[in-house]
Amino acid sequence: MASKRKRINVKADDGSIVILVLWILAILALLGLGIGFATSLDQRLVSYQRDRLTALYLAKAGYVRALAELRRDPTPQVDSFLDPWAHSPEAFREAALGGGSFTVSYRLRGDGGSDGLVYGVVDEDRKINLNTAPKAVLIMLPGMPEEIADSIADWRKQRALGERRDRAFKVLEELLLVEGMTDEVFQALRPFVTIYTDGKVNLNTAPREVLKALGMGEGLVNKLLRFRSGRDDIRGTEDDQIFTTLASAGFQLNAFDSLTPQEAAQLTNLIVQNRLKVTSSFFRIYASGRVRDGKIIRSVEGVVQRGTGPSDSLVLLAWHEY
């Protein structure tokens, strides 16, 4: 009888062991799944960071390509939309490189509300310099109320030890700190103002809004833009014309479309006042890199100053990665 009870207890113990083993196996399986999921997640994170880094270096490659185009400018004494840095889809649009691509482009705003994507470099010399422009010019910019123009003029002066000193804008976003400035006004001004340049505006690239802010009448602005875009009225095509020198600008424009005495006087006054030029020295480059069919994008933005002479140097003034 005792032997029989012993056999029953042995069987019961065997069943408990089997259940315990099954629980252990289940726990190990869950641990294995958890470790596998964590490993897979780590691999995806590593892959994502690697692709982000790749996209960043692709964007930097686009920036370097833009520098190369600026250096090989065939007409260094004149800068216009005909130059290779200004608009070149062949060089700047989704250029394939190392399993990804880069693009150098920006959204062009101006010329009476036109808005288009340009594959090229931004000419900062087509804009009004906030640090040097008088109130009479500032107040003519799109969306600029007189009180904000006054606040900008006040910002540029600060009292230190009883003396008035110039206080220049260091970055464009400092405009948002000016009294009365709103985001709406800032966004309206942004395409037409800069903190770089020598204060002169490139006659070959300035948009309608900037030309009018300088004091040109509607008639003169229309003739000037038609001259630049050629008979087909399309910017960046073979029939475009450029102003080669300021001394000949009036003659060139009058030969294309006769100027009235008032229009001729407006252009002459701006030239005499040293407000215009036909070259550019400051450029803003927006470059983006893409991998995974555009699912991962990194961008860089740089402002450079191009020197003159045999060295043809390019100096980096500002840099931003995002």
Query: How many C-beta atoms lie closer than 10 Å to residue 130's C-beta?
Result: 23
Give the pair of three-digit tokens for residue 210: 């900037």
Q: What is the CATH number of domain 128-192?
A: 1.10.150.280
Q: Report yes or no: 55 and 289 within 8 Å, Cβ to Cβ.
A: yes
CA distance 150 to 134: 10
CA distance 153 to 147: 10
Q: Report yes or no: 90 and 318 within 8 Å, Cβ to Cβ.
A: no
pLDDT in tens, the chain (322 residues): 445 454 555 555 666 777 777 777 777 777 777 676 666 655 677 788 888 999 999 999 999 999 999 998 777 789 999 999 999 999 999 999 988 999 999 988 755 445 688 999 999 999 999 999 999 999 999 999 999 999 999 888 864 444 555 678 999 999 999 999 999 999 999 999 999 999 999 999 999 999 999 999 999 999 999 999 887 777 777 788 999 999 999 999 999 999 999 999 999 999 999 999 999 999 999 999 999 777 899 999 999 999 865 556 899 999 999 9
Domain boundaries, the chain: 128-192
Q: What is the pTM of this model?
A: 0.83
Q: Among 272, 278, 270, which residue's Cα sits nearest to residue 245?
A: 278
CA distance 52 to 302: 19
Query: How many C-beta atoms lie closer than 10 Å to residue 37's C-beta?
Result: 10
> Do the bridges between strand 100-104 and strand 95-97 make them parallel or antiparallel, or are there none, so unpaired?
antiparallel
